[in-house]
Amino acid sequence: MAMLVKAALAFVAVAALIAYYCHEPVPQDIAQPGFFATQGITFRTVHHMAKFGEYIGIGTEPANLRYIMEEMMRAAREKKGNYREGLKCTDTTFDGVRVRVYEPVSAGESSGTRPGLVYIHGGGWVVFSVDVYDHLTAHLAKQLGVVVVSVEYRLAPEHKFPAAFDDSVSATRFFLQNAEKYNVDRTRIGISGDSAGGNLAAAVTLALAKEKGLPKLKTQALIYPIVQAIDFNTPSYSDHGHLNTLSKDVMVACWLWYLNNDQSLKAVFKTNNHTSDQLKKSQYFGYVDTKMQPKVVIKKENMKFPDIPNIAAILDPRLAPLMADDADLKGLPPTYVMTCEYDVLKDEGVMYVTRLERAGVKVEHDHYERGFHGLLNHFDVYELGGTAMEKYVMYLKKAL
């Protein structure tokens, strides 16, 4: 009898575990709900494995996340066949920063110059690499017929802010200055990136726009970019923060790994208690809450913050491009922004579009009502991702 009871309890425990992992929140109108659920379950499981590994003394959570995801993506790439055909791919360094350069063979054979594109990968500044994005960046080089530079920036938390920004701006500047080596027209170089890569692409565009004697970037194309860290209770955070394709919990964890590597502050950030009453009454919070009145103009250097390491950086455009002053937005190149409905980052992407348009920047905005964070990475296996890739490529063909 005791054995039967134990067996029954074990069965119930296993069944409960399976039910837990198979029960994934899926929006009613999402395209291909089975695919979406699989993505959510996968990310949730990977994060649990990474945390458990750290708990039992195997690596840190970020390092474990990297290892597991890299291995998963490597296995997936091996099934895609020779997707690099027609490209010359070179791993090198630009001003000390590791990059991968994709050159269409036809570009090398041509007597004329081609456009170029700097691509900065996503991953919350913490995970992923040029290897993980190899399929996507190779696809861009082939579809556009341009030279693509994929940036291998240093990752947090081992390398906190501004390391990823510094690497991205250095590599981009080097490409602008040495474009002729790759038969590229330095006046036709754009920059792009997704998620944390969109954050870095926007920050680099702002920084290089101020540098004199440097060719101007032709365009910036920002894919569901991260652009602010003062409000983690926007409607899209509140409505979609439970989705495991990118949860509020994970997004806040990534911000903390990048900012100061203090995860004990997660609850403080999730409830917006990392800011101050002064900040919430200032013009900077008005960039997030456009209905806020009155707007009190306060200089960044006079802003008061809670006693949190490096917290003042949340108003630094190198970290949070939405916090750029109006004057810094004027004169930025034509911009493309992609947002997805089921994404905690949707609202801030829309906010950045609005601020750029008010500053007189020409903006093209593609919004996917049934899209989710990470959509573009699945362009070859997910129908809406394929549509998003086609429109993104179409924009770049016009803009470069």
Are residues 93 and 50 located together in one domain of the fold? Answer: no
Cβ proximity of 349 and 373 under 8 Å: no
Report yes or no on 234 lying in a domain: no
Are residues 129 and 225 located together in one domain of the fold? Answer: yes
Are residues 59 and 161 located together in one domain of the fold? Answer: no
Are residues 107 and 224 located together in one domain of the fold? Answer: yes
Report yes or no on 238 lying in a domain: no
Looking at residue 170, its amino acid is: S
Structure-token pair, residue 154: 């240093």
Report yes or no on 297 lying in a domain: no
CATH of the domain at 163: 3.40.50.1820
Structure-token pair, residue 237: 């955070």
Q: What is the mean pLDDT of the chain?
A: 92
d(CA 76, CA 7): 37
Predicted pLDDT at 296: 82
Range of the domain at 130: 87-229+319-399
Residue 195 bears catalytic tag: yes
Predicted pLDDT at 77: 87
Are residues 9 and 133 located together in one domain of the fold? Answer: no
Are residues 47 and 116 located together in one domain of the fold? Answer: no
Cβ proximity of 198 and 340 under 8 Å: no
What are the 10-residue block averages of pLDDT along the chain, 400 residues in total?
45 46 82 91 92 94 95 88 95 98 79 92 98 98 98 98 98 98 97 98 97 96 98 97 96 98 97 94 89 79 94 98 96 97 98 97 97 96 97 98
d(CA 222, CA 311): 25
Catalytic hit among 129, 195, 247, 282: 195
Alpha-carbon separation of residue 181 from 99, 102, 141 (angstroms): 15, 13, 17
Are residues 156 and 192 located together in one domain of the fold? Answer: yes
Are residues 37 and 156 located together in one domain of the fold? Answer: no
Q: Write down the H helix ranges in the chain.
A: 2-22, 33-55, 61-78, 105-109, 134-144, 163-177, 196-208, 235-240, 248-259, 266-270, 277-280, 283-286, 326-329, 346-358, 383-399
Specify the number of domains making up the chain. Answer: 2
Catalytic hit among 134, 185, 343, 347: 343
Report yes or no on 250 lying in a domain: no
Predicted pLDDT at 111: 64
Are residues 16 and 162 located together in one domain of the fold? Answer: no
Are residues 97 and 59 located together in one domain of the fold? Answer: no
Predicted pLDDT at 15: 43
Predicted pLDDT at 112: 83
Residue 23 bears catalytic tag: no
Report yes or no on 140 lying in a domain: yes
Structure-token pair, residue 379: 């362009």
Report yes or no on 15 lying in a domain: yes
d(CA 249, CA 306): 21
Are residues 112 and 196 located together in one domain of the fold? Answer: yes
Report yes or no on 378 lying in a domain: yes
Are residues 208 and 345 located together in one domain of the fold? Answer: yes
Report yes or no on 235 lying in a domain: no
